[in-house]
């Protein structure tokens, strides 16, 4: 590794857009999570794919790690240069390149955030549905296979990336996929890159599916005597084929945090928040049928509304869930967990997790995407108490093991990064080695985001 | 390659379930398409994953090709042992292993056909939606990334395989995916294997998503003055968010073939056949709204029905489209093409294809999955006229090139096999080499279905 020569060569290409300022290095050495500060050797701000290619070529020549950076909202330390090297910040590659309303697709640079994209789409009657909460970049969301509140209806990044351009570790520039809605032409490299966390290459362009803004939307909230009843109501709704656009769960502790944060008056009980998309008559019918199912399962009267402002208030509350929970304990930091199980095991997974948290020295309200079987415990720790961080990490690890025992996965949407590599062997067995073989074939020097996802990198 | 020793070793494992009978070899050397007869050296009939593993291990030891075989319905010669070796016929691995109604998923062996699965599911209120027309095996459908008439609503095999078990070229047995609805845990090996055409390993088990049989269904048919109007009506329907469960196109020549084959009375014009799934009121509303759109685009009165027998008759006609077209020319054989383009280019793609066919010595009625932008010209040839086969192959190649120029793919659902390798370089560029690197990493001896999909194998 000849870092000095590499940085000189990079400066020749990028000029002042190769930054070594302390503030820049520190800003790109921090994560949203509990990982220690890990500043890179430099931060590069490319403006186009050719520059990204030159960056990778120079780093390859000197065997220097290359780590992509979107909005820095990863919860598993994806953007941290744990072996040093260059962080490639895509904030200057933030253009929406082409919107094609007739095909309901769009081509973007990776640094566009999901909110910026939806802003640009506003006049078209279309929207991009994947919504992980944070205003992440679309490149980052693709690399972590992000999903969120609308996945039950519109799918995750896996379902909404039509194709992409990437620079590989040896500087080759490839494209994957086409603009056709489906293809049977060879290995699905788009799906291989989506979720690869920057370990196979850097994405320089994405084509995404769009969806029509529904003519009408209804949304509402209700509470249940226990988690099992809430999940049973969701299962029945899915089986009846009532198309939910969102279906979110909040535990009693989360409801309490909402009340304190937003001045609401929620019962201290498990809640479901749900939304339907369709025509005016269909969303009313969906809400009525859902209300009947809720009543059958002992839920409270289902209060719903098709009015925009009430709906916005509901989802603003949900989106602020993380901050509401964080605010419920002064000075706390959070370790956010993320397991996903078959829906028949969801109630059990939540209840066992609640018992495990109750027996620990920390607290951890729960919320999640119940239609996908995915939930998060927000484990609250005192940042000055290393024992609490250890307790949270142990709880998170046990949650992952529990998910695997129940036929699920250790991460529904946050990814592996550095935080979950300890569960990959248990989840994938020898298939983890297959991932390693693919990585080795495409990046034999291990320069693309080393230390993440793959064993022993 | 020591074929004699390999066959001796295989006989020790399989006994009479290693067949070398002439009829068996010929039956597994034929395809549904125009490829010449290519009998393998032997046909193996394993009954479980351990036997599949032993077969692959023995073949690996002697560097003998291993080729999977489902129902033999591939249109691109996927099951042909073009380098000799052993065809592994999965017909004895045809068990539905576990149905989990609460999770709406199922685990099957690869030799189960889609019709057999739906038969077993009948009492559950659930169904498996992917419907390529032929009664293919689910293993074969996974390996070619099959789709069909319902993909516009329920997705293709890409969207409906939750996970799988596979035996790799070195005998390792891996599992991919979990039963969770989504995961961000590492490379998406499930998606890598779905569509890999047996070139990376043999699948021994699949977990699949199921869907609720809708409470109500409406279906109907209408004609249009031209292809452009029909496509415009479909685009508007999609943009309005009216959820179509099927939306199929048939050209005027196909309508004529239907009339002759089934005694119907269709206008000699482009037609759309459509189906809606939902509640009784929603499917009626969907059909009414669709009828308005059809009228706005100059279509004929949209005749629809929620009655089961009328609906069945409609889709039986569509499913018999291939046979109706084949019967329209006595003694003909067919070369079936399969391109998929962005929907805004679909009318152009169909019209240019029709002109190209009209200028050729052969005929080729067109039908397709218009909601996906995917269509097939059924090119009719006299089997005793090699010049007609050459003309059909040239037309098919030009269709593929046209699809790529329009931003699409050379195959929407039939796969590459042997028939489309000539278009892979044009579609994927250097990404085709990336597929080759993955193949090389996992199968360095190139024993898994050589001669298919990957360059120079």
One domain, residues A333 and A388: yes
In a domain, A73, yes or no: no
- Across the interface, whether the CB atoms of B172 and A212 are under 8 A apart is answered no
Chain segment B89-118, per-residue pLDDT in tens? 999 999 999 999 999 999 999 999 999 999
Looking at every residue in chain A, the average pLDDT score rounds to 96
Task: Work out the average pLDDT over A329-334.
Answer: 92
One domain, residues B229 and B282: yes
| Residue after which a domain boundary falls, among B33, B62, B91 | B91
One domain, residues B348 and B308: no
What pTM was estimated for this model as a whole? 0.97
- Across the interface, whether the CB atoms of A180 and B403 are under 8 A apart is answered yes
Distance from C-alpha of B161 to C-alpha of A191, rounded to nearest angstrom: 13
- Across the interface, whether the CB atoms of A188 and B191 are under 8 A apart is answered yes
One domain, residues A170 and A230: no
Task: Work out the average pLDDT over B323-332.
Answer: 93
- Across the interface, whether the CB atoms of B409 and A144 are under 8 A apart is answered no
Task: Work out the average pLDDT over B380-394.
Answer: 95
- Across the interface, whether the CB atoms of B103 and A179 are under 8 A apart is answered no
One domain, residues A108 and A192: yes
One domain, residues A358 and A292: no
Q: In the prediction, which pLDDT does B168 show?
A: 98
A47 touches chain B (CB under 8 A): no
| Residue after which a domain boundary falls, among B39, B59, B91 | B91
Q: In the prediction, which pLDDT does A69 show?
A: 98
Looking at every residue in chain B, the average pLDDT score rounds to 96
Task: Measure A84 CA to nearest chain B CA, in Å.
Answer: 22
CATH of the domain at B139: 3.30.465.10
In a domain, A166, yes or no: yes
Q: What part of A 70-99 touches B (C-beta under 8 Å)?
A: none
Nearest to B179 among A181, A407, A442 (CB): A407
Q: Is the pLDDT assigned to residue B163 strictly greater than 60?
A: yes
- Across the interface, whether the CB atoms of B428 and A185 are under 8 A apart is answered yes
One domain, residues B285 and B251: yes
Number of domains observed in the structure of chain B: 4
- Across the interface, whether the CB atoms of A212 and B238 are under 8 A apart is answered yes
One domain, residues A316 and A342: no
In a domain, A52, yes or no: no
A453 touches chain B (CB under 8 A): yes
One domain, residues A139 and A165: yes
A194 touches chain B (CB under 8 A): yes
In a domain, A38, yes or no: no
In a domain, A457, yes or no: no
In a domain, B444, yes or no: no
In a domain, B197, yes or no: yes
Chain segment B222-250, per-residue pLDDT in tens? 999 999 999 999 999 998 889 999 999 99
One domain, residues B186 and B226: no
A452 touches chain B (CB under 8 A): no
Chain segment B390-434, per-residue pLDDT in tens? 999 999 999 999 999 999 999 999 999 998 999 999 999 999 999
Residue of A169, A114, A119 whose CA lies nearest to A142: A114
Task: Work out the average pLDDT over A131-146.
Answer: 96
Distance from C-alpha of A213 to C-alpha of B36, rounded to nearest angstrom: 51
Q: In the prediction, which pLDDT does A241 show?
A: 85
ipTM of this complex: 0.97
Q: Is the pLDDT assigned to residue B259 strictly greater than 80?
A: yes
B434 touches chain A (CB under 8 A): yes
B100 touches chain A (CB under 8 A): yes
One domain, residues B205 and B121: yes
Contacts of B312 (CB under 8 A, 6+ apart): none
Range of the domain at B78: 3-91
Q: Which residues of A touch B336 (CB under 8 A)?
A: none
| Residue after which a domain boundary falls, among A288, A322, A356 | A322
One domain, residues B361 and B420: yes
Chain segment A209-234, per-residue pLDDT in tens? 999 999 999 999 999 999 999 999 99
Q: Which residue has the higher pLDDT, B419 or A394?
A: A394
pLDDT confidence band for A1 (50 / 70 / 90): low
Nearest to B285 among A211, A281, A409 (CB): A281
A377 neighbors A257 (Cβ within 8 angstroms): no
How much of chain A exceeds pLDDT 70, in percent?
A: 100
B172 touches chain A (CB under 8 A): yes
In a domain, A35, yes or no: no
- Across the interface, whether the CB atoms of A187 and B453 are under 8 A apart is answered yes
Q: Is the pLDDT assigned to residue B1 strictly greater than 60?
A: no
A443 touches chain B (CB under 8 A): no
């Amino acid at each position: 590794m000849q870092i000095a020569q590499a940085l000189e060569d990079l400066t020749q290409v990028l000029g002042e857009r190769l930054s070594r300022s302390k503030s820049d290095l520190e800003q790109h050495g921090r994560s949203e999570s509990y990982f220690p500060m890990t500043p890179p050797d430099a931060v590069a701000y490319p403006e186009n794919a050719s520059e990204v290619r030159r960056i990778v070529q120079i780093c390859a020549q000197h065997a220097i790690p290359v780590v992509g950076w979107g909005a820095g909202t990863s919860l598993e330390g994806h953007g941290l240069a744990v072996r040093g090297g260059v962080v490639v910040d895509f904030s200057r590659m933030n253009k929406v390149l082409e919107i094609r309303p007739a095909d309901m697709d769009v081509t973007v640079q990776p640094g566009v955030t999901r909110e910026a994209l939806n802003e640009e789409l506003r006049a078209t009657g279309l929207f991009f549905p994947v919504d992980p909460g944070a205003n992440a970049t679309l490149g980052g969301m693709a690399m972590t296979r992000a999903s969120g509140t609308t996945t039950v209806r519109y799918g995750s990044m896996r379902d909404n990336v039509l194709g992409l351009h990437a620079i590989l570790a040896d500087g080759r520039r490839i494209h994957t996929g086409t603009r056709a809605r489906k293809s049977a032409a060879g290995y699905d490299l788009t799906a291989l890159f989506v979720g690869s966390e920057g370990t196979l290459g850097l994405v320089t362009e994405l084509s995404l599916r769009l969806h029509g803004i529904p003519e009408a939307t209804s949304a509402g909230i209700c509470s249940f005597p226990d988690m099992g009843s809430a999940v049973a109501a969701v299962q029945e709704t899915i089986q009846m084929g009532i198309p939910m656009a969102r279906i979110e769960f909040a535990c009693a502790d989360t409801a309490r945090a909402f009340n304190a944060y937003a001045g609401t008056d929620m019962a201290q009980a498990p809640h479901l928040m749900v939304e339907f998309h369709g025509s005016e008559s269909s969303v009313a019918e969906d809400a009525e049928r859902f209300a009947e199912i809720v009543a059958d399962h002992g839920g409270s009267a289902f209060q719903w509304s098709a009015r925009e402002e009430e709906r916005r208030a509901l989802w603003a509350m949900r989106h602020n869930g993380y901050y509401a929970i964080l605010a419920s304990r002064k000075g706390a930091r959070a370790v956010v967990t993320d397991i996903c199980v078959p829906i028949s095991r969801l109630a059990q997974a939540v209840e066992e997790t609640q018992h495990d948290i109750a027996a620990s020295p920390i607290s951890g309200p729960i919320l999640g995407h119940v239609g996908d079987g995915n939930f998060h415990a927000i484990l609250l720790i005192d940042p000055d108490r290393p024992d609490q961080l250890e307790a949270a990490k142990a709880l998170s690890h046990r949650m992952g093991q529990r998910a695997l025992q129940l036929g699920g996965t250790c991460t529904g949407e946050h990814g592996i990064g550095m935080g979950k590599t300890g569960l990959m062997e248990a989840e994938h067995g020898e298939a983890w080695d297959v991932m390693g073989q693919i990585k080795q074939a495409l990046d034999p020097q291990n320069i693309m985001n080393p230390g993440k996802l793959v064993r022993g990198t």
